[in-house]
Amino acid sequence: MRTGRRFWRPKKITGEKMVSFVATPIGNLKDITLRALETLKEADVIFCEDTRHTLKLLNAYEIKKPLQACHKFNETEAAGRILEASRSGKKVAVVSDAGTPVVSDPGNIVCKTLREAGEPYTLIPGACAFVAALVLSALDAGKFAFIGFLPEKKGEKLKVLERYKDVDLTLAFHSAPQDVDKDVAAMYEIFGERRAVAVREITKLHEESREFLLSEGLSGEKRGEYVLVVEGAGEKENPLSALSEKEHIAYYLAQGMDKKEALKKAAKDRGVSKSDLYPFAIDL
């Protein structure tokens, strides 16, 4: 069925000259895929968040390529150069300092620029810090939300957290060492008591995953980049369930419902069948 929305598909196939966003290691330099190495070796130019940081990775694998900067302060201008390079027939690789580009890293403006211009691009997948932290936390990974870095100002920080206060999803946040205590305090102010896990030094020698309560905060010196994983709100108990079965049905009858509809609503609230509640409604 046509909806009027235009769907975007790359016009070129993998192997032709195009832009590739390449995931790089988040700690251990061995955590890079064969395809990522192949893409970097074949690239005509590599756009990176910090040329000095990327140079260490390339030197480790004896890759020598021209490097150009693409960071949060010049991304719009860099996106134009990436588009121009791709259209001129060059293979372009885009990397961030660590992990998957675009995810809490530069790259999103580049993606939008390429899409709007109809220029194809692809992702060479690999390491992603918040996914690794979710596994290491042992919290519910069946449903989760990645929030990324919280704003620096407390008011804005609280405003963002308020949106997720009642969400029944495990929440993942990035947090710089100097922000961890403030972020945790803000979470407790909005969420109340919850379990959380602080994960740091992922894939490195001193990898650490520490569980704590938001009310207690995270003790000890804060070193390295953190992923804070916080349990979701969970399902809230319906206050009407505290009533007796007869009082519960009577509440809905008082709202103007007939007995059949009142039974249906009360049964849904209590998670039981209508037949279980029927005996309590006979004399109502």
Per-chain mean pLDDT for the chain = 90
According to CATH, where is 3.40.1010.10 located in the chain? Answer: 19-127
Query: Residue 150: CB partners within 8 Å, gap ≥ 6?
Result: 157, 160, 161, 173, 175, 179, 183, 186
pLDDT for 12 equals: 44
Look at the domain 130-230 and name its fold: 3.30.950
- What tens digit of pLDDT does each residue of 40-94 get? 999 999 999 999 999 999 999 999 999 999 999 999 999 999 999 999 999 999 9
Can you tell me the mean pLDDT for 91-113?
A: 96
pLDDT for 247 equals: 83
According to CATH, where is 3.30.950.10 located in the chain? Answer: 130-230
Q: How confident is the model at residue 284 (pLDDT cuts 50, 70, 90)?
A: confident
Spatial separation of the C-alpha atoms in residues 194 and 215, rounded to whole Å: 8
Q: How confident is the model at residue 32 (pLDDT cuts 50, 70, 90)?
A: very high
Query: Residue 257: CB partners within 8 Å, gap ≥ 6?
Result: 265
> Contact at 8 Å (CB) between 93 and 46?
yes
> Which of the four CATH numbers 3.40.50.720, 3.30.460.20, 3.40.1010.10, 3.30.1490.100 does domain 19-127 have?
3.40.1010.10
Can you tell me the mean pLDDT for 252-256?
A: 82
Range list of H helices, the chain:
34-42, 51-60, 75-87, 108-117, 129-137, 154-162, 180-191, 245-254, 259-270, 274-281
